[in-house]
């Protein structure tokens, strides 16, 4: 019989309730929720009031509790809880992507020092076992890049705009269905997708990139003409948490991509998440599942709790073996559009394949230097939009010229 | 530093060579191939002749070799090798689905008795980490069924027939591309898919079903009219390694299904494999990747070898906790077609939704009892074809009548 796990649960919102429920229905997981700490004393809940506590110390200082499951919204409060729990020698499961993206290295070190375990599968694509597979199964392979659809809100909106809805209509629909918050900024501007990217960058490439050093452009300013543009390329617009190794450098950012019909991600629709991994030996691997939702997210939390029982830890082997440097110094091929042709000049093109005016929008397709591109705050520029149209990235301008020359031949 | 693994490799064909190659390129896997045993002494190979041995005992009786990697074609010879290796206290990796499907329980018991480890990820869908995820990540969930596209040959042929090619033309194309053998029987008649199904049945449901007790019908007799039929249902024909829990019973078989547009498997094309898992908590999870090929298959073998270093074993927890009985006693909804209307009478329909004649083929849609269906050897009846058109299976005739009644209202 495996050791019984005594859990202190922080948060009893959507995922917290889901976790309570799945644990109740999992008699084979020898774990019990001993206490639940919540913030709001006055809220009515579906469990007896005696189960709830209101001070973090009620769990943190309880020596019978060996495991903390942190499922609250507030990343700052979560940081304090997770840090204290690790310091006090408790194993921790968290689903808070912002907290993890911002403090991962510190928390890994703390867990190592304290000889406890910190797992967070639910923080990236909820139910999809992406961190676990990267850590374990693909440890012996060499992952060279990934294209992640890691945000269900934007994927739902993009699925609907591809079907002809305007962005505003698609967003309201997503809000009505509970797929989007009333303030959708974190989702539609690509922040949520960026936190997940930062976590994956660590596990895949051993790269510690701070969220503020990773570029994120969302989909707030998408217009039907952009959908048509992608369609003319036999593609669809998808918001990617994207990373790729180019020589000894790693590039990573969040932006809309034109995903071609032939790519497995082309068919990932609505609120689904997916991560497509390109591994040296295994080649393309697609993991698709629910990236949100009370019970699916809780399933990943439960799996982490179960993993404690077998002594499982993340190995971070990519950190040991890789010597990759994160860089924003590269060239990429994009389509840029603006309400007037002169706005296109905000970004210097190293090479322009073509430019055209279609209806009220001007389009320009060609190669740009990434550092020039990210000077523009696209999320706040309602008259501009861009999408990446090729996964062929170059570290040097001479290679761009070569690629352009080849294309012309 | 992890203990060095000394490997004895059986077989140096397509996957064997791939494994040699990926191990060479994996300096972080502390494993070395000490000896390679092959059958044919006269064949010229790309390695020095001193590396090759010709008697199984050259590896089996070598005390320096702790790990056997078995990658030969002949399932009977493989059985002897794997059994002897386990008996002699060596860990074993195998990719031989037929061997494993036929002898799994015996080999598990032997490995337990000898306190060694037997892993075989590459035997199901090659590069896709499906067994590992079922064993580990979804151990705390409850998998209720799966739809596997586990055979690349038939999936390639079905992709091409969906594009308008005849079966014969699609098969020759697959053969030219190396996706099909000159005698394609094992693939196109669903035997290969059945071996994989038998292995998954064990890991998902704890069910030990002998291959001879599992029904398999392939795609050899598919006609353009069948493709059109699926198309009219807004679906595509896919050959499924299918299993589902219905109450306390497990049903499992290999047959063509009409997969609807809305299903993630609808878009799994060509030589790709995929398994869609339906879990109680995580809901739908799709794993897609390469189900064949030298290096992708070898990547799974390498991952198993790497797993030995961390002491990993399959837990077979579904065997411990489930009390599922495999059954062929159920009702299902199919479309049956034949060259003449009278041939349709070969199978008794409990309820007929409709029948029609389209061109030279007669079609009948309705509910049949599975045991009546599998009396017909479809693989050898060139004038008949069937496909499953619903995943709604019933254990009792009264439920069929109820479902039919509901549908009519």
Backbone angles phi and psi of B166, in degrees to 5 = -75, 165
Give me chain B's average pLDDT, please.
Answer: 95
Euclidean distance between CA atoms A292 and A199, whole angstroms = 17
- Give catalytic residue positions of B: 196
A chain contacts of residue B285, beta-carbon cutoff 8 Å? 127-129, 287-289
CATH class in words for A5-128+293-315: alpha beta
- Count of residues for chain B? 409
> How, if at all, do strands B272-279 and B331-338 pair?
unpaired
State whether A28 and B317 contact (CB < 8 Å).
yes
Provide the pLDDT for residue B156.
97
Structure tokens of B208? 């030990």
Class of domain B5-128+293-319: alpha beta
Place of tokens 């809220």: A43
Considering only CB atoms, A302 lies closest to which of B129, B274, B281, namely B281
Distances (CA, A) of B316 to A148, A408, B102: 31, 57, 17
A285: contact with B, CB 8 A cutoff: yes
Inter-chain residue contact A139 with B281, CB threshold 8 Å = no
Cβ neighbours around B100 below 10 Å, total = 25
B34 — contact with chain A (CB < 8 Å)?
A: no
Q: Closest residue of B to A274, CA-based?
A: B286
Distance CA B240, CA B252 (A): 10
* DSSP H or E stretch at residue A59: helix A56-60
d(CA B151, CA A11): 45
Query: Partners of B284 in the beta sheet?
Result: B278
Which chain B residue's Cα is nearest to A301? Answer: B140
What is the domain partition of chain A in residue ranges? 5-128+293-315, 329-409
**Pairs of CB atoms within 8 A across A/B:** 134
Three-state secondary-structure class, residue A307: helix
Phi, psi of A315 (to 5 degrees): -95, -25
* Contact state of B127 with A285 under an 8 Å Cβ cutoff: yes
Does residue B54 belong to the interface with chain A, where contact is any CB pair within 8 Å?
no
- Sites in chain A below the pLDDT cut of 50: none
**Could you tell me which residues are beta bridge partners of residue B384?**
B338
- Pick B299's closest partner by Cβ from A133, A282, A286: A282
pLDDT value, residue A321: 74
pLDDT digits (tens, 9 = 90+) for A184-238: 999 999 999 999 999 999 999 999 999 999 999 999 999 999 999 999 999 999 9
Q: Closest partner residue to B282 among A274, A281, A289, by Cβ?
A: A289
Q: Would the pLDDT of B1 be above 70?
A: no
Task: Pick A127 or B359 by higher pLDDT.
Answer: A127
Given an 8 Å threshold on Cβ–Cβ distance, is B298 in contact with A281? yes
Q: Which residues of A touch B303 (CB under 8 A)?
A: 137-141
Query: With an 8 Å Cβ cutoff, is A267 touching chain B?
Result: yes
User: Which pLDDT score, from 0 to 100, does residue B275 have?
Assistant: 98
CB contact under 8 A, B285 and A288: yes
CA closest to B322 among chain A residues: A28
Please check whether residue A139 touches B, CB under 8 A: yes
**How far A298 CA lies from chain B's nearest CA (Å)?**
8
Best residue of A259, A263, A281 to probe chain B, by most B CBs closer than 10 Å: A281
- Selecting from B137, B264, B290 the residue whose C-beta is nearest the C-beta of A288 gives B264
Tell me the residues of chain B between 79 and 138 that have a Cβ less than 8 Å away from chain A: 127-129, 132-133, 136-138
Per-residue pLDDT tens over the stretch B322-337: 778 999 999 999 999 9
Active-site position among A196, A236, A238, A249: A196
**Reported ipTM exceeds the 0.85 cut:** yes
* E strand or H helix at A283: strand A283-290
3-state per-residue secondary structure call for B294-311: HHHHHHHHHHHHHHHHCC
Question: Residue range B160-168: average pLDDT?
Answer: 98
Q: A15: closest CA among A384, A302, A271?
A: A302
Residues of B in contact with A288 (CB under 8 A): 264, 284-286, 288
Contact A287 B284 (CB under 8 A): no
Pick A296's closest partner by Cβ from B26, B137, B283. B283
Q: CATH classification of B329-409 is 3.40.50, yes or no?
A: no
Q: Give the residue-averaged pLDDT of B205-233.
A: 96
Considering only CB atoms, which chain A residues are within 8 Å of B302? 140-141, 281
**Cβ neighbours of B322 in A, within 8 Å:** none
Rounded alpha-carbon distances, angstroms, from residue B14 to A283, B55, B136:
17, 20, 29
Q: How far apart are CA A294 and CA A40, in angstroms?
A: 20
**On the CB side of B54, how many CA atoms lie within 13 Å of its CA?**
7
């Amino acid at each position: 019989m495996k050791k019984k796990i005594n859990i202190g649960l922080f948060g009893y919102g959507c995922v917290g309730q889901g976790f309570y429920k799945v644990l109740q229905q999992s008699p084979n997981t020898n774990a019990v929720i001993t206490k639940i700490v919540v913030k709001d004393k006055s809220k009515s809940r579906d469990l007896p009031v005696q189960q709830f506590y209101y001070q973090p110390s009620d769990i943190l200082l309880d020596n019978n509790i060996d495991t903390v499951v942190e499922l609250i919204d507030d990343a700052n409060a979560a940081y304090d809880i997770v840090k204290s729990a690790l310091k006090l020698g408790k194993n921790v499961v968290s689903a808070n992507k912002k907290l993890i993206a911002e403090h991962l290295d510190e928390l890994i070190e703390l867990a190592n020092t304290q000889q406890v375990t910190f797992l967070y599968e639910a923080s990236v694509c909820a139910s999809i076992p992406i961190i676990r597979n990267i850590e374990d199964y693909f440890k012996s392979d060499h992952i060279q890049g990934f294209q992640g659809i890691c945000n269900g809100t934007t994927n739902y909106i993009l699925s609907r705009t591809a079907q002809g809805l305007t962005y505003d209509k698609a967003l309201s629909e997503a809000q009505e269905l509970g797929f989007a918050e009333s303030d959708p900024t974190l989702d539609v501007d690509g922040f949520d997708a960026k936190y997940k990217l930062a976590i994956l960058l660590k596990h895949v490439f051993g790269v510690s990139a701070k969220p503020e050093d990773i570029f994120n452009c969302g989909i707030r300013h998408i217009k039907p003409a952009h959908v048509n543009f992608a369609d003319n390329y036999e593609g669809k617009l998808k918001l990617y948490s994207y990373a790729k190794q180019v020589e000894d450098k790693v590039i990573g950012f969040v932006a809309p991509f034109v995903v071609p019909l032939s790519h497995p991600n082309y068919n990932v629709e609505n609120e689904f998440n997916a991560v497509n991994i390109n591994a040296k030996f295994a080649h393309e691997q697609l993991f698709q599942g629910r990236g949100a939702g009370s019970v699916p997210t809780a399933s990943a939390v439960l799996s982490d709790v179960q993993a404690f029982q077998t002594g499982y830890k993340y190995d971070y082997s990519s950190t040991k073996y890789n010597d990759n440097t994160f860089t924003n110094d590269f060239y990429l091929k994009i389509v840029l559009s603006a309400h007037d042709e002169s706005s296109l000049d905000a970004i210097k093109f190293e090479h322009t394949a073509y430019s055209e005016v279609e209806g009220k929008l001007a389009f320009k397709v060609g190669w740009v230097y990434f550092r020039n591109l990210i000077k523009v705050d696209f999320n706040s520029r309602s008259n501009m939009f861009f999408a990446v149209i090729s996964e062929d990235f170059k570290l040097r301008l001479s290679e761009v010229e070569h690629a352009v020359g080849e294309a012309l031949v």
